[in-house]
Amino acid sequence: MARSVPLLWVPLLWVLLPGLAALEPLSVGLAIGVASALTGYLSHPRFYCNYVECCPRAGQRLNASALKAQLDNRLFGQHLAKDVVLKAVLGFSNNPSPKKPLMLSLHGWAGTGKNFLSQILAEQVHPAGLRSKFVHLFLATLHFPHHDQVKLYKEQLQNWIRGNVSACPSSVFIFDEMDKMHPGVIDAIKPFLDYYEEVDGVSYRKAIFIFLSNAGGDLINKAALDFWASGKRREDIQLKDLEPLLSVGVFNNKNSGLWHSSIIDRNLIDYFVPFLPLEQRHVKMCVRAEMAARGYAVDEKIVQEVADEMTYFPKEERIFSDKGCKTVQAKLDIHEDVVMGDTKARG
């Protein structure tokens, strides 16, 4: 057995020997040098990150003007939310060493733009937006559906957050449907949100947590109605008018998901961002934007028709849209024939 092995090696060497003669030191040295230079160049972050998504480095700042432009052009009727979010996010991003992760709690009626805003935000931090592997979206009804498995969800959530923040410190976590989430689940991430420098060797200070919920929406609507009834302009509503009543309302609301949660108790939420209900003029802006996005010419008659088809509350005054800007696309499809006819006539 031991003898057959050298027997095999000899003819093998004899076959390869002619090839070995081609090994010329200079050309081989050059080839190895070029290969290593190429590898080094390719793995350099600035080149590499053009093709594969990388975690933003510590020094990268948010582009303030880009964020402001996006918010101005795409989000309608939320002057409060725009203000607060712009200041909060820029302040956080420009701070070289924040003391705790940024926590925004977005509250408001359905269709007012909460998911939309969090999407715009995520896109500024990570260019790929919601598709980025550093942006994580959790839905209470989808990811934490069963109330009897809260313990399992807690553990999994903690591991997930820990793992992802250690991979990329500036991760973004979006929790949607907070009003449907079991109150205990959110307490599980409280340690990550506090003023710690490091927890088990991982620093969470550069992460961003966004909570979306409908809780408090009725309170905001009431406040907006009061403003309207007293004749004041919508743009005069200040954050200080809403924030305290919002925080208490959400804290005491059994369905809010933050119910008696230690997150509010400890004042860990940095900003409560209220979303006001949308008026008819904002609905028209949505319709115009949708028509422009589809490439049709904007026809004011159709815009008015679609806006009229939406339902408004309160019943008599009919000021605020029931569904915000939702179902606008669907209604546009019904009127599409007229639109298509128009565009065809114009050639």
Partner 1 sequence: MKLRRGTLRAALALVLLPLLTPAGAVEPISVGLAIAGAAASALTGFISYPRLYCYFRECCLHRHDPRAAGALQGNLDNRLFGQHLVSKVVVKAVRGFLNNTNAKKPLALSLHGWTGTGKNFVSKIVAESIYKKGLQSKYVHQFVATLHFPHAHSINLYKDQLQSWIRGNVSVCPRSLFIFDEMDKMHAGLIDSIKPFLDYYELLDGVSYRQAIFIFLSNAGAEKITEVALDFWRNGRTREDIQLTDIQNALSVSVFNNKNSGFWHSTLIDRNLIDYFIPFLPLEYKHVKMCVRVEIESRGYAVDEDIVSRIADEMTYFPREERIYSDKGCKTVDAKLDYYYDF
Site for partner 1 contains 316 (CB under 8 A): no
Query: Token digits for 325?
Result: 């800007």
Any known ligand binding at 111? yes
Any known ligand binding at 115? yes
* CA 102 distance to own-chain centroid: 13
Query: Token digits for 302?
Result: 């159709």
Site for partner 1 contains 156 (CB under 8 A): no
Of positions 98, 129, 183, 191, contacts partner 1 by CB under 8 A: 129
Selection from 202, 208, 188 nearest residue 262 by Cα: 188
Nearest distance from C-beta of residue 110 to partner 1, angstroms: 5
Site for partner 1 contains 293 (CB under 8 A): yes
Residue 199 phi, psi (nearest 5)? -120, 115
Q: Report CA Rg, the chain.
A: 28
Q: What is the spatial distance between Cα 32 and Cα 29, in angstroms, rounded to a whole number?
A: 5
Nearest distance from C-beta of residue 164 to partner 1, angstroms: 14
Site for partner 1 contains 344 (CB under 8 A): no
Q: What is the DSSP letter of 230?
A: T
Q: Give the up-direction half-sphere exposure of residue 65: CA atoms within 13 A in the CB hemisphere.
A: 0
Residue nearer to partner 1 on the CB measure, 182 or 206 = 182
Of positions 294, 300, 314, 317, contacts partner 1 by CB under 8 A: 294
Nearest distance from C-beta of residue 293 to partner 1, angstroms: 7
Q: What is the DSSP letter of 211?
A: E
Nearest distance from C-beta of residue 131 to partner 1, angstroms: 6
Provide, for the chain, the percentages of residues in helix, strand and coil under a 3-state DSSP scheme, each rounded to the nearest 5.
55, 10, 35
Site for partner 1 contains 15 (CB under 8 A): yes
Nearest distance from C-beta of residue 218 to partner 1, angstroms: 13
Q: What is the spatial distance between Cα 287 and Cα 307, in angstroms, rounded to a whole number?
A: 8
Query: Token digits for 347?
Result: 């050639």
Residue nearer to partner 1 on the CB measure, 203 or 280 = 280
Selection from 98, 86, 81 nearest residue 62 by Cα: 86
Site for partner 1 contains 137 (CB under 8 A): yes
Site for partner 1 contains 159 (CB under 8 A): no
Nearest distance from C-beta of residue 19 to partner 1, angstroms: 11
Site for partner 1 contains 314 (CB under 8 A): no
Site for partner 1 contains 89 (CB under 8 A): no
Residue nearer to partner 1 on the CB measure, 176 or 270 = 176
Give yes or no for a contact between 102 and 92, defined as CB atoms under 8 angstroms apart: yes
The one-letter code for the residue type at 342 is D
Residue nearer to partner 1 on the CB measure, 146 or 346 = 146
Of positions 111, 216, 249, 257, contacts partner 1 by CB under 8 A: 111
Residue with tokens 């998504």: 53
Nearest distance from C-beta of residue 142 to partner 1, angstroms: 4
Burial 154-185 (b: 16+ CB within 10 A, else e): beebeeebbebbeebbbbbbbbbbbbbbbeeb
Any known ligand binding at 110? yes
Residue nearer to partner 1 on the CB measure, 14 or 51 = 14
Residue nearer to partner 1 on the CB measure, 265 or 309 = 309
Identify each DSSP E strand in 279-321 by its residue range. Answer: 312-313, 320-321
Q: Which residues bind partner 1 (CB under 8 A)?
A: 1, 4, 7-8, 10-12, 14-15, 18, 110-111, 115, 119, 129-131, 137, 139, 141-142, 145-146, 293-294, 309, 311, 322-323, 326-327, 329-330, 332-334, 336-337
Binding-site positions read 108-115
